[in-house]
């Protein structure tokens, strides 16, 4: 797949504000400061599309991006609120969690989730909670291990194996990505292409 065009559409602070569309949706999920915005910008080859910040907890909305408008592979990319950020009120945490859960449970056009974790560390308790939710609710996912440039190339395979073992998943469902070293993009785009093809086939079959 080649991403030819990507534009920001809108942000939704509550589920009722989410986009209603027949377009397939792919979501990006992960804890605060795991690199979701950098991942999206790298994926679409636009360093300014998704706002990045050194301060965690900036993504408080579901931010929608329209990819390849008017093309056969047109889709909506949904950047979900980051979780696990301690320096917000309990009420704010509940609000984010409610938005996140409603989207994942109710969005009928959600075809896949790219679940981001930091390759340098084993998944956090919040990461495990997110993974368990995706697994138990049969939400298709790929684990993206970000910040692969922060470790040596020789460590990458061992870290992927460690994360896979921790979450009890196959190593084939993990992709190491670095927006700095420009690695992993082709594998992610290939996964998106396969997701869209499967979704189109299912729709035709129905």
Report the pLDDT value the prediction gives residue 203, as an integer from 0 to 100: 65
Measure the CA angle with vertex 66, ends 29 and 106; round to 5°. Answer: 50
pLDDT per position as a tens digit, 176-189: 999 999 999 999 99
What letters, b where the CB count within 10 A reaches 16 and e where it falls short, cover 66-88? Answer: bbbeeeebebbbbbbbbbbbeee
Report the pLDDT value the prediction gives residue 58, as an integer from 0 to 100: 47
Instruction: Collect all residues with Cβ–Cβ distance below 8 Å to 13 and sequence separation of at least 6.
Output: 60, 61, 99
pLDDT per position as a tens digit, 20-40: 999 999 999 998 889 898 999
What six digits make up the tokens of 84? 């696990």
Of 85-94, 123-132, 133-142, which gets the smallest average pLDDT? 85-94
CA proximity to 100, closest of 85, 83, 86: 83
- Using CA atoms, how far apart are residues 159 and 63, in angstroms rounded to an integer? 30
Which letter does DSSP use for residue 150 in this model?
Answer: G
Give the pLDDT mean for 69-81.
Answer: 93
Whether residue 70 has pLDDT greater than 70? yes
* Residues β-bridged to residue 76: 25, 66
pLDDT per position as a tens digit, 104-126: 999 999 999 999 999 999 999 98
Chain position carrying tokens 């291990």 = 145
Report the pLDDT value the prediction gives residue 161, as an integer from 0 to 100: 96
- Overall pTM surpassing 0.85 (yes/no): yes
Whether residue 99 has pLDDT greater than 90? no
Report the pLDDT value the prediction gives residue 85, as an integer from 0 to 100: 56
């Amino acid at each position: 797949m080649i991403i030819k065009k990507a534009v920001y559409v809108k942000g939704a602070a509550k589920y009722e504000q989410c986009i209603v569309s027949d377009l397939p949706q792919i979501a990006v999920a992960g804890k605060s400061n795991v690199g979701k915005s950098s991942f999206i910008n790298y994926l679409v080859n636009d360093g300014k599309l998704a706002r990045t910040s050194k301060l965690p907890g900036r993504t408080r909305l579901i931010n929608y991006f329209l990819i390849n408008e008017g093309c056969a592979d047109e889709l909506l990319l949904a950047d979900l609120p980051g979780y696990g950020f301690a320096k917000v009120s309990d009420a704010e945490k509940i609000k984010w969690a409610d938005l996140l859960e409603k989207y994942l449970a109710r969005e009928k056009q959600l075809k896949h989730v790219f679940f981001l974790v930091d390759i340098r560390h084993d998944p956090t308790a919040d990461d495990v909670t997110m993974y368990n939710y995706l697994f138990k609710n049969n939400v298709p996912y790929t684990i993206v291990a970000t910040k692969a440039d922060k470790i040596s190339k020789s460590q990458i395979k061992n870290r992927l194996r460690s994360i896979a073992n921790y979450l009890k998943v196959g190593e084939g469902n993990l992709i190491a990505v670095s927006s700095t070293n420009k690695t992993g993009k082709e594998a992610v785009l290939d996964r998106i292409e396969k997701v869209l093809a499967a979704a189109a086939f299912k729709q035709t079959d129905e």
